[in-house]
């Protein structure tokens, strides 16, 4: 294959089998995997990308199940704009996933989560994106479900938008990549940067409302998030919140409780509701409500966890033992707003109730006096 990823097949030649073991394995090792086959004489469905009279194939589409039909289609250049691809990312670490999508395996955005800096050709220019890759070593059934869930959640301003997501099917070495907007920080960054003496109440209340709206939408689509925490709430370039990371999420029916017998407990210690630590674990929409209660407590206390202890494991122990949440820091930061303080504390205590039946769902939270009266 020629440098730059173009191959020189004749009109009636056939591209090499892109589903070979070696091709898939190269991604796991961080090597270049993209191939492009340009042929002006083959007739194909309208779903293929067209540059003037030339049809451009992503050869991997022949070997994979593409579940991104409902995602925003990348804006590809017309015939007189093909030169734009001369500006495609080059240099150390840059690898091509497709004609319009590159990632840099030397520049992780989220450590331990296989999320990397990326560039994608969108709206007639190269844009910064984040690329999540689940390779053959780590792939699980939940990874496929994450892609299916993302298809249902792209039309809300407080849920992460996905530009492209593909499941690369292979008997022995499947992998997934997900392309999404690059966000400059997370809610955890915002919390860590905040000052106990200078709480920006309006900004914090706006973030809180956006998180609840996003969670309400997610639940309306029949999905439990199961890992809501500050690190999974991104702050977009424009400043609004985006709930992200659906790797542990599950689709359920009619708000039913999900009893997990064979699977390990999922989620993050300190954000898991008490019922998740039962045997067997029990998940519901109201388990997400508990996580939101912890997030709101931290958001309005500049990072103080309501179940903190000498070591992180104490958070889980205190939750399991039904300890009263410590909201002292919330009271301090909200001291200049006595009425709002009362409403907020009342809401957080309901969300952190040991009995899940007492926790309001996100759509009910939006009608709480705290949000209605802010």
State yes or no: pLDDT of 348 exceeds 50. Answer: yes
When the pLDDT of each residue in the chain is averaged and rounded to a whole number, the result is 76
Rounded to 5 degrees, what angle do the CA atoms 189, 193, 199 make?
120
User: Residue 89: which pLDDT band, with cuts at 50, 70 and 90?
Assistant: confident
pLDDT bucket at 293, cuts 50 / 70 / 90: very high
Q: pTM of the entire structure?
A: 0.74
Q: What is the pLDDT of residue 173?
A: 66
The per-residue pLDDT for 157 is 95
Q: What are phi and psi of 131, to 5 degrees?
A: -115, 120
pLDDT tens-digit readout, 165-209? 877 665 666 778 899 999 999 999 999 887 655 678 899 999 999
Whether 249 contacts 223, CB under 8 Å = yes
pLDDT at residue 114, as a whole number: 83
Q: What average pLDDT score do residues 214-241 get? A: 95
Provide the 10 A C-beta neighbour count for residue 194: 20
Among 27-41, 227-241, 346-360, the minimum mean pLDDT is found in 27-41
% pLDDT > 90, the chain: 43
Which pLDDT score, from 0 to 100, does residue 229 have?
Answer: 97
pLDDT for 112 equals: 67
Q: Highest mean pLDDT: which of 141-155, 309-323, 340-354?
A: 340-354
For residues 296-304, give the mean pLDDT.
Answer: 94
Which pLDDT does position 197 carry in this prediction? 56
CB 227 within 8 A of CB 244: no
Residue 45: pLDDT above 80? no
Of residues 372 and 63, the one with the higher pLDDT is 372
Using 50, 70 and 90 to split pLDDT, how confident is the model at 33? very low
100-135, pLDDT tens digit by residue?
Answer: 899 998 899 876 678 999 999 987 889 999 998 876
pLDDT for position 254: 67
pLDDT at 169: 65
Higher pLDDT, 212 or 61: 212
Rounded CA separation 130/195 (Å): 29
Q: What is the pLDDT of residue 138?
A: 56
Beta-sheet strand order (sheet of 233-235): 185-186, 233-235, 241-243
Q: Look at residue 143 in the predicted model and tell me its pLDDT.
A: 65
- If one counts every other C-beta atom within 10 angstroms of the C-beta of residue 324, the result is 11
- Give the integer Cα–Cα distance in Å for 117 and 222: 31
Query: Using one digit for the tens of pLDDT, what is the confidence trace for 130-174?
Result: 998 876 655 566 667 787 888 888 789 999 988 988 776 656 667
Indicate the DSSP class of residue 6: B
Where do the domains of the chain lie?
A: 21-181, 185-372
**What per-residue confidence (pLDDT) applies to 373?**
72
Output the six-digit token pair for 224.
């439990």
Residue 148's pLDDT is what? 83
Round to whole Å and give the CA distance between 347 and 370.
Answer: 7
Pick the CATH number of 21-181 from 3.30.200.20, 3.40.630.10, 3.30.70.3460, 3.30.1490.20: 3.30.200.20
| CATH architecture of the domain formed by 185-372 | Orthogonal Bundle (1.10)
Per-residue 3-state assignment (H helix, E strand, C coil) for 230-291: HHHEEECCCCCEEECCCCCCEECCCCCCEECCCCCCCCCCCCCCHHHHCCCCEECHHHHHHH
Q: Which of 120-124, 341-345, 349-353 has the lowest mean pLDDT?
A: 120-124
Can you give the pLDDT at residue 177?
Answer: 86
Spatial CB neighbours of 289, under 8 Å, sequence gap ≥ 6: 273, 351, 356, 359, 360, 361, 362, 365
Q: Provide the β-strand partners of residue 180.
A: 130
pLDDT at 273 over 70: yes
Confidence (pLDDT) at 60: 28
């Amino acid at each position: 294959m020629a440098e730059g990823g173009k191959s020189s097949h004749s009109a009636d030649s056939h591209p090499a089998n892109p589903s070979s073991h070696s091709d898939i394995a190269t991604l796991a090792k961080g090597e270049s995997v993209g191939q492009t086959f340009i042929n002006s004489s083959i007739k194909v469905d309208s779903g293929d990308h067209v540059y003037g009279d030339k049809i451009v194939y992503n050869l991997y589409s022949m070997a994979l199940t593409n579940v991104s039909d409902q995602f925003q289609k990348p804006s590809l250049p017309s015939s007189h704009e093909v030169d734009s691809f001369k500006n495609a990312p080059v240099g150390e670490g840059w690898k091509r996933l497709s004609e319009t999508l590159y990632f840099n395996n030397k520049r992780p955005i989220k450590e331990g989560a296989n999320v990397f800096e990326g560039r994608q050709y969108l709206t007639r220019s190269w844009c910064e994106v984040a690329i999540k890759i689940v390779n053959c070593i780590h792939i699980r059934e939940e990874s496929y479900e994450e892609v299916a869930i993302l298809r249902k959640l792209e039309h809300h301003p407080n849920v992460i938008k996905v530009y492209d997501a593909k499941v690369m099917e292979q008997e022995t070495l499947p992998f997934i990549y997900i392309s999404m907007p690059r966000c400059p920080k997370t809610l955890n960054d915002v919390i860590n940067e905040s000052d106990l003496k200078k709480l920006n109440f309006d900004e914090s209340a706006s973030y809180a409302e956006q998180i609840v709206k996003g969670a309400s939408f997610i639940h309306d689509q029949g999905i439990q998030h199961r890992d809501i925490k500050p690190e999974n709430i991104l702050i977009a370039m424009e400043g609004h919140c985006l709930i992200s990371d659906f790797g542990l999420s599950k689709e359920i029916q009619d708000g039913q409780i999900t009893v997990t017998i064979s699977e390990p407990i999922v989620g993050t210690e300190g954000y898991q509701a008490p019922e998740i630590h039962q045997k067997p674990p029990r998940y519901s929409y109201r388990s997400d409500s508990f996580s939101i209660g912890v997030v709101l407590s931290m958001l309005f206390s500049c990072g103080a966890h309501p179940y903190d202890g000498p070591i992180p494991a104490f958070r889980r122990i205190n939750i399991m033992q039904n300890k009263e949440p410590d909201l002292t820091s919330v009271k301090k930061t909200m001291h200049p707003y006595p009425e709002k303080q009362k409403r907020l504390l009342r809401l957080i205590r309901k969300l952190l109730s040991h009995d899940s039946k007492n926790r309001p769902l996100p759509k009910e939270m939006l009608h709480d006096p705290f949000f209605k009266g802010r």
